[in-house]
């Protein structure tokens, strides 16, 4: 997922000093100098591109600005500092596209159910989130050098797609995973609380309240996370990568019941698939967050990892691994759900929510793109 790497962007890291904005604006662009050799120059250094393009500890491998769409597409086959950012998400996009195709159209997860069966609606929400996230990341990494304004637009769309994916994950959890937890079964929790804590309370209303709030709270978090990440591209934000990492961890809190289930009950014995893949997914997420914030290894050897091996490529790889594990336990949850569905998912409670979220995220992106800061950066 693309990111604005600025001298202030890596938690106080010492990056090459960015070019003075006035000087950068006054300096003739290689493509506009009239020199065919300069125009044909494939890659630029950090001091030859606008400040907004400078990546912390990445000294070379930059594409020129502006590029044409054809040049952007051609660059995925050339060694730039964005090439592997594209491929580390494009290959997973193909893998997950194939996986979901089998689940929906070849009966891989839904047995003999048609792809439009109500029981598969949460899976459609989840699958659309996964595929949109990878597709938007690929698009942003390829076309981010079309212009400064389009670069900002692609960043915002990328943030929105991650929020969309996070909410789609919550929809899948809500229908496929949460109903199978003892933690959310009043018949189990009421005597459990009485025996362990000595509290004579009926957990029925508390659990019903939680179930009623899960999706609305996740919806609000998705919109709020997008707003916060878009704001992180403004000058007031000193540590944008730390902020974005924290912000996108927030929706993961919707999976807390699964974690509590493993602490209070024998989740490993009752659902080993969920237990193993759930915790392995969060291990991959911790590793991905570490690379995204720390800017290791390029922090220690600026310039050495410009093309291959820098932190954002590693961030992509571990993000893919985390979603790979998530798909496993969501698929297993679907199988268990279809054996004895507690309630059929409704269109309004699944796809309707997702469509409303798209509208809200679109309004957020429109607001930020209409901001005067970006009108001046054409």
Per residue of the chain (378 residues), what is the pLDDT tens digit?
544 333 333 333 334 444 343 344 334 444 434 443 444 457 999 999 888 888 889 999 999 989 999 999 999 999 999 999 999 999 999 999 999 999 998 876 666 778 888 999 999 999 999 999 999 999 999 999 998 889 989 989 999 999 999 999 999 999 999 999 999 998 999 888 888 877 788 889 999 999 999 999 999 999 998 998 888 776 555 666 666 667 666 667 778 899 999 999 989 999 999 999 999 999 999 999 899 889 999 999 999 999 999 999 999 999 999 999 999 999 999 999 988 888 789 999 999 999 999 999 999 999 988 874 543 333
**Residue 347 maps to a domain:** yes
User: Contact 312/141 with Cβ under 8 angstroms?
Assistant: no
User: Contact 135/93 with Cβ under 8 angstroms?
Assistant: yes
- The domain in which residue 148 lies consists of 79-375
| Total count of domains within the chain | 1
Give the 3-state DSSP-derived string for the chain, with helices as H, strands as E and coil as C. Answer: CCCCCCCCCCCCCCCCCCCCHHHHHHCCCHHHCCCHHHHCCCCECHHHCCHHHCCCCCCCCECCCCCCHHHHHHHHHCCCCCHHHHHHHHHHHHHHHHHHHHHHHCCCCCCCCCCCCHHHHHHHHHHHHHHHHHHHHHHHHHHCCCCHHHHHHHHHHHHHHHHHHHHHHHHHHHHHHHHHCHHHCHHHHHHHHHHHHCCCCCCHHHHHHHHHHHHHHHHHHHHHHHHHHHHCCCCCCCCHHHHHHHHHHHHHHHHHHHHHHHHHCCHHHHCHHHHHHHHHHHHHHHHHHHHHHHCCCCCCCCCCCCCCCCHHHHHHHHHHHHHHHHHHHHHHHHHHHHHCCCCCCCCCCCHHHHHHHHHHHHHHHHHHHCCHHHHCCC
Nearest to 157 by CA among 127, 128, 137: 137
**Residue 248 maps to a domain:** yes
**Residue 44 maps to a domain:** no
Nearest to 147 by CA among 50, 75, 62: 50
Residue 95 phi, psi (nearest 5):
-65, -45
**Residue 131 maps to a domain:** yes
Query: Which pLDDT score, from 0 to 100, does residue 236 have?
Result: 56
Query: Which pLDDT score, from 0 to 100, does residue 241 have?
Result: 64
Nearest to 343 by CA among 119, 111, 117, 103: 119
User: Contact 331/196 with Cβ under 8 angstroms?
Assistant: no
Q: In the structure encoding, which two tokens stand for residue 364, read together?
A: 């957020």
Query: Which pLDDT score, from 0 to 100, does residue 201 have?
Result: 82
The Cα 47–Cα 27 span in angstroms is 11
Handedness of CA 115, 118, 119, 125 (dihedral sign): positive
**Residue 30 maps to a domain:** no
- The length of the chain, given as a count of residues: 378
**Residue 46 maps to a domain:** no
**Residue 55 maps to a domain:** no
The Cα 133–Cα 138 span in angstroms is 9
**Residue 63 maps to a domain:** no
């Amino acid at each position: 997922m693309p990111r604005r790497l600025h001298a202030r962007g890596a938690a106080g890291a010492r990056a090459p000093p960015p070019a003075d904005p006035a000087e950068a604006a006054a300096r003739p662009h290689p493509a506009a100098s009239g020199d065919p050799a300069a125009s044909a120059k494939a890659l630029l250094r950090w001091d030859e591109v606008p400040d907004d393009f400078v990546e912390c500890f990445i000294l070379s491998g930059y594409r020129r600005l502006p590029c044409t769409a054809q040049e952007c597409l051609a660059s995925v086959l050339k060694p730039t500092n964005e090439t592997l950012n594209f491929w580390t998400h494009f290959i997973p996009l193909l893998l997950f596209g194939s996986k979901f195709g089998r689940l929906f159209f070849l009966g891989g997860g839904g047995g003999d159910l048609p792809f439009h069966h109500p029981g598969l609606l949460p899976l459609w929400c989840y699958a659309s989130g996964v595929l949109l996230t990878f597709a938007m990341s690929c698009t942003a990494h390829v076309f981010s050098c079309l212009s400064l304004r389009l670069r900002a637009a692609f960043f915002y769309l990328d943030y929105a797609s991650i929020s969309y994916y996070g909410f789609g994950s919550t929809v899948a959890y809500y229908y496929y995973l949460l109903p199978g937890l003892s933690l959310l079964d009043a018949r189990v929790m009421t005597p459990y609380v009485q025996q362990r804590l000595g509290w004579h309370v009926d957990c029925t209303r508390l659990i019903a309240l939680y179930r009623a709030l899960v999706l609305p709270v996740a919806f609000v978090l998705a919109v709020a996370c997008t707003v916060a990440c878009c704001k992180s591209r403004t000058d007031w934000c000193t540590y944008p990568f730390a902020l974005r990492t924290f912000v996108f961890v927030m929706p993961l809190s919707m999976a807390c019941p699964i974690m509590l289930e493993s602490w209070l009950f024998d989740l490993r014995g009752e659902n080993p698939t969920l237990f193993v893949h759930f915790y392995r997914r969060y291990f991959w997420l911790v590793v991905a967050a570490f690379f995204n914030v720390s800017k290791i290894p390029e922090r220690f050897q600026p310039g050495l990892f410009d093309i291959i091996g820098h932190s954002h490529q590693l961030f992509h790889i571990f993000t893919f691994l985390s979603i790979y594990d998530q798909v496993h336990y969501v698929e297993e949850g679907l199988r268990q759900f279809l054996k004895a569905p507690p309630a059929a998912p409704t269109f309004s409670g699944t796809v309707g929510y997702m469509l409303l979220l798209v509208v809200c995220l679109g309004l957020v992106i429109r607001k930020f793109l209409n901001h005067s800061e970006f009108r001046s950066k054409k």
